[in-house]
Amino acid sequence: MAGTLANFKSKGLSSSRFVRSFSGAQSGGSRGWKNETPQGSKTEVFVYSPESNITWPDPQLGVLGSSDPFFTFPGHIGCSLTGQLPEKSSPLKPVQPDILTAPTNKETQVHALYNASDYIKYTPGSESLVCADILDEYPKIVGMESVQFGVHDTPLLLRKEMKALFPSQNIDNGNFTTITYSQKTENDMSKWSDQVEDEREKKMESFVQAAKEICARLKEDGFWADFLDPCSGTPYYGVHTNTTMFETDEKFRLLGFRIEDLGCCKVILHPKYGRNVFVGCIVTNAGKNSPVLEEILEDIV
């Protein structure tokens, strides 16, 4: 259906501020209006043709849609600053699993270990396949060739002294074994020099490595175990306490060592190595003659 609109210009009003032209004239008919004013007529006539190729409103997208990517606002308003076509939207990402129902990494690992344990336990002949890559012998720790272990059934007096070091353990009753770690040194530990300091650092590192391994294997067999940190004199795994037991502590006299007071410092003496020794201490509730403890020490040494 065509429509006609007339825009009248008053003859008596020649000022341009009273003259208002129809917007369809400026659009060149792009909105469906065509100027059909007769020649010489003072009345402008515009005819609307619905069949024209109009750009808005869009019959498919509606007034809020935009078919032209360079006009991003409703009604084809606002030119894109980049002058480039907008990128296609990426496909929807898969929905993440619910954190309350999905298994954690630890649960997945435990499940795999249980499955492996069941497979070995209930599958005849599976040991030859599963355990094919296990080492034939225990790997050696560096420096253990010069280490001497002493296993002591802790004396009652020493138990009382060490009770404050391990308040969570019932030291008064049951087994309480003290393992002394004595490693021979090249330098006299009663003196100070850069060489002595470097060697002591290496011996401390070797002791901590060996003590961790011994404690771990004892715990695997159901025992409690801990050792004294040579840097702080306190339990390595246990809770921090105000009580300490350093290498030159008088408590070591009850384990067969001598403590010399040199005035400026104290030094521990080994019955065989003398002052050329580094001493560490490991404790456990495994019995002194426990087969598990004997096997562990044999493997490490």
Segments of the chain assigned E as strands: 3-8, 33-35, 43-48, 71-73, 77-79, 147-153, 177-184, 225-227, 258-261, 266-269, 277-284
In angstroms, the Cα distances linking 19 to 7, 10, 37, 66, 154 are: 10, 8, 16, 34, 114
Residue labelled with tokens 């019955």: 271
In angstroms, the Cα distances linking 12 to 15, 19, 146 are: 9, 11, 122
pLDDT at 16: 43
DSSP label at residue 71:
E
Residue labelled with tokens 């990128």: 87
Ranges under pLDDT 50 in the chain: 1-19, 22, 24-30, 52, 54, 56, 63
pLDDT at 145: 80
Burial class (CB in 10 A: 0-12, 13-18, 19+), 122: exposed
Q: Give dist(CA 173, CA 156) in Å, integer.
A: 10
Give the residues across from 33 on adjacent strands.
48
The residues near 84 (Cβ < 8 Å, ≥ 6 apart) are none
Give the residues across from 155 on adjacent strands.
none
Nearest residue to 280 (alpha-carbon basis) of 189, 219, 187: 189
Prediction pTM value = 0.56
Burial class (CB in 10 A: 0-12, 13-18, 19+), 208: middle
| Strand duo 3-8 + 147-153: pairing | unpaired
Nearest residue to 97 (alpha-carbon basis) of 88, 108, 89: 108
* Contacts of 53-57 spanning 24+ positions with Cβ under 8 A: 54/30, 55/30, 55/31, 56/31
